[in-house]
Amino acid sequence: MTNKSALLLIFISIYISVSVYAQKTLQQPFDDCQTDGSITIYNYNTGKWIVSDSTDSHVASLPASTFKILNTLIILETEIIKDENEIIKWPGSTDTTKYGYRPDIYHDMSLKEAFHLSAGWVYRELAKEVGKERYRDYLKRCNYGNGDVSTPDPDFWNYGNFEISPVNQIEILKGVYEETLPFSKRSIQILKQMMIEEKTPIYTLRAKTGWTKDGGKDTGWWVGYIEKKDNVYFFATRLVKERTITNPNFNKCRKSITKEILRSLKIL
């Protein structure tokens, strides 16, 4: 064996070892939370991707409430409401105690509050006014998911065949950050302000959670981006489990897994 061949083998061995080690390191928080899933990260300055599962990062599934990111832009752009502070009237019964799932969200509220509380009923009511045809048009123009809004339910982002992959989620988030999506600067600026979860002297974190229980599975998301003085990092974390499996930490793990990995990469 020549010296060059030996060096090449050593290089390949080190490369494979580092890749496997990195992937195992990224996977460990999912194992600790006892759930399946993946994280996909994009470094804006370098254009490099960091993934815990390269296959899963391209697998599409229902976006759940992460669709509120694009949905907010569509609702504002179509002027269904005048701004994020307009109050949407709760159409149901005033006796919210009969609603077993989060009865605290069933009252009149603004779009801004609905985004932060992830109050699905607000977006469902407004989706009826937007209409499926306008949704199809915007989804196509934004290259968002598979564009399948065929389910009769207005809540097509939680039920049916509408799907988006983690990589595609990040492409949309980049469009928000760069303001290159086909929406007015006003609409995008309103959304960006609504998306802020954390703001420190070092970084600003903009994000949205999502959780759907369709198809006998729990699918939980946390997607967003972190702006620092010298760079921007985009992330899309998705957890999946069978609904028959009990995991009381599933909800919290969407954020805890993401933050643990971002801290390990010195992003947070």
Q: Could you tell me if residue 11 is inside a domain?
A: no
Q: Could you tell me if residue 154 is inside a domain?
A: yes
Per-residue pLDDT of the chain (268 residues; tens, 9 = 90+): 555 554 444 343 433 333 433 556 798 999 999 999 999 999 999 999 999 999 999 999 999 999 999 999 999 999 999 999 999 999 886 655 555 567 889 999 999 999 999 999 999 999 999 999 999 999 999 999 999 999 999 999 999 999 999 999 999 999 999 999 999 999 999 999 999 999 999 999 999 999 999 889 999 999 999 999 999 999 999 999 999 989 999 999 999 999 999 999 999 9
Amino acid identity at 141:
R
- Tell me the pTM: 0.89
Please report, for the domain that includes residue 256, its CATH number.
3.40.710.10
Q: Could you tell me if residue 2 is inside a domain?
A: no
Catalytic (active site) residue 5: no
Q: Could you tell me if residue 241 is inside a domain?
A: yes
Catalytic residue, candidates 52, 57, 61, 65: 65
Q: Could you tell me if residue 21 is inside a domain?
A: no
**Residues linked to residue 227 through DSSP beta bridges, in sequence order:** 204, 232
3-state class (DSSP) for residue 117: helix
Residue 95's domain spans which residues? Answer: 34-264
Give the chain's domain count. Answer: 1
> Based on the number of CB atoms within 10 Å of its own CB, is 44 exposed (0-12), middle (13-18) or buried (19 or more)?
middle
- 198, 204 contact by CB (below 8 A): yes
Give the Cα separation of 71 and 58 in Å (integer).
Answer: 22
Distant-in-sequence, close-in-space partners of 116: CB < 8 Å, separation ≥ 6: 194
Q: Could you tell me if residue 18 is inside a domain?
A: no
Q: Could you tell me if residue 147 is inside a domain?
A: yes
Give the Cα separation of 23 and 70 in Å (integer).
Answer: 30
Give the Cα separation of 20 and 251 in Å (integer).
Answer: 28
Q: Could you tell me if residue 26 is inside a domain?
A: no
